[in-house]
């Protein structure tokens, strides 16, 4: 009997899922041959930028569209 290993996620998803920032692990990514789109909600512009820089090494010449929405804790309370 042979055990099969689960498929490793695409490099973009793998980079997000293995981030030291917990919030980035919940983000989604859509990949095509020409572009990568990251979507989801983060609580600061800093995390939006960190998400972008986290996936940049795995772009392989594709365009990056950062569609993350920033909802600060203060805005969420209002």
Q: What is the pTM of this model?
A: 0.79
pLDDT of residue 46: 97
Radius of gyration of the chain (CA): 15
- Give the separation between CA 67 and CA 37, rounded to whole angstroms: 7
Domain boundaries along the sequence of the chain: 11-63
- Give the separation between CA 49 and CA 55, rounded to whole angstroms: 10
How many residues make up the chain in this entry? Answer: 78
Q: What is the pLDDT of residues 14-62, one digit of tens each?
A: 999 999 999 999 999 999 999 999 999 999 999 999 999 999 999 999 9
- Give the separation between CA 43 and CA 50, rounded to whole angstroms: 12
């Amino acid at each position: 009997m042979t055990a099969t290993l689960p498929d490793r996620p695409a490099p973009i998803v793998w980079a997000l899922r293995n981030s030291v920032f917990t919030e980035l692990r919940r983000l989604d990514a859509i990949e095509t041959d020409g572009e990568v789109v990251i979507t989801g909600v983060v609580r600061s512009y800093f995390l939006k930028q960190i998400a972008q820089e986290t996936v940049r090494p795995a772009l392989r010449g594709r365009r990056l569209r950062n569609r993350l929405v920033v909802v600060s804790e203060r805005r969420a309370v209002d």
